[in-house]
Amino acid sequence: MPQPTSSPPPPSRPPAAFPTRACGAAALTLPVLGVGCFSFGGGTYWGGQSQRDVNEVVAHALDLGVNFFDTAETYNGGASERALGVALHGRRDAAIIGTKIQPDHCYPGEVRRHCEASLARLQTDRLDLYLLHWPLNASSLRHYTDDPQRLARPPLIGEALHALDGLRREGKIRHLGVSNFGVAQLAEACAVGVPLALNELPYNLLARAIEREALPACAQHGLGVLGYFSLAQGLLSGKFAGFDELPPIRVRTRHFRGDRPGARHGGPGCETETLAALHALCAAAEQAGRPLGELALAWAIGNPAVTCTLVGARNRAQLEANVRAARTPLAPALRAELSRLTDPLLEKLGPGLDYYQSDEDSWSW
């Protein structure tokens, strides 16, 4: 007598299409969530990071449709680019790669060498996005070099963009962009006439300055926006009860006192207002029944003026939490309430986009 057999399991369903947004007027579409790769390769800023975890995060992200990866030549001394290149082996064509060139490398005679070095570390023949990491001025250069000749004569935006555009015409770069450019700097860059795709800017519940002028300016120029700093380097993760629990390297913004180790702004900071905002946000998250980190990330993604919101993921679990945030939008009333809770901090911090420098020595204007 034949034995009953169990029915075969139903075929697994592919994941639902991941939400995307058009990147301004550029022929480029990005997922609303991107993977920030600062921790890849390990280093002093974020600590150790195994290649195995990087491989798993990248592979799972691609499987879920989160196919944009943001890195930079300066992240961990190039180790981030190398780790991403290894992780994308065999799947390069499924990914959109963005990397950045630091200000003191933007002299016309040096741009090609640094672009090709990034290409080699990433094991690819093209960059989908290549960004000027910071505006080109003596204040930004001082962070990277003490060469008096370079500080006296920073690269000019026109010469830097034309050098990059030559590489774009060769096919080494698909799209060009800028990062941390304020309204005046963005207007100057766009006036050069080289096509730009986007501006990468800091944006989170505790850092909302771009809402006032920078986002409208990007829209006016037909640029998309990459939002970074989306969890305030862990401050919005819900893992820390107080500022002193954060690593010193992550308490250097104008949210904190200027006398903390490594701080550059030298001002009084906004610790009282920042702590009050965090307490209010934690209460709102508890009432909503969602972790603060997911709530904060969903809030940032919920701004339709931001093309793609970047957030790091050190392992698969963190990536999946980020994906839940992207796939579970906030009700409009809740998003408005979270904004209201952080309005006092927005007013206190003011309109400056550079959260590390004083207004008098800002890199972005």
Q: DSSP letters along 38-61, please?
A: TTTT-BTTTB---HHHHHHHHHHH
**CATH T-level fold of 26-361:** TIM Barrel (3.20.20)
Instruction: Report the C-alpha dihedral over residues 70, 72, 75, 77, rounded to 10 degrees.
Output: 140
Residue 145 backbone dihedrals phi, psi, to 5 degrees: -150, 150
3-state secondary structure of 237: coil
Would you state the pLDDT for residue 242?
Answer: 83
Half-sphere exposure of residue 247: CA atoms within 13 angstroms, side-chain side: 9
Is 46 within 8 Å of 79 (Cβ atoms)? no
SS3 6: coil
The number of beta carbons lying within 10 Å of the beta carbon of residue 36 is 24
Q: Measured between alpha carbons, how far is 69 from 282 in angstroms, rounded to an integer?
A: 29
Phi and psi at residue 242, to the nearest 5°: -155, 165
pLDDT for residue 11 = 40
Q: Is 330 helix (H, G, I), strand (E, B) or coil?
A: coil
CB 270 within 8 A of CB 277: no
Quote the pLDDT of residue 308.
Answer: 98
CA distance 339 to 303: 11
Strand partners, 207: 204
pLDDT at 16: 59
Residue 357 Cα to chain centre, angstroms: 18
Q: What is the pLDDT of residues 97-141, one digit of tens each?
A: 999 999 999 999 999 999 999 999 999 999 999 999 999 999 999
Interhelix angle for 271-288 vs 292-301, to 10°?
A: 100
Residue numbers in the chain where pLDDT is lower than 70: 1-16
pTM above 0.85, yes or no: yes
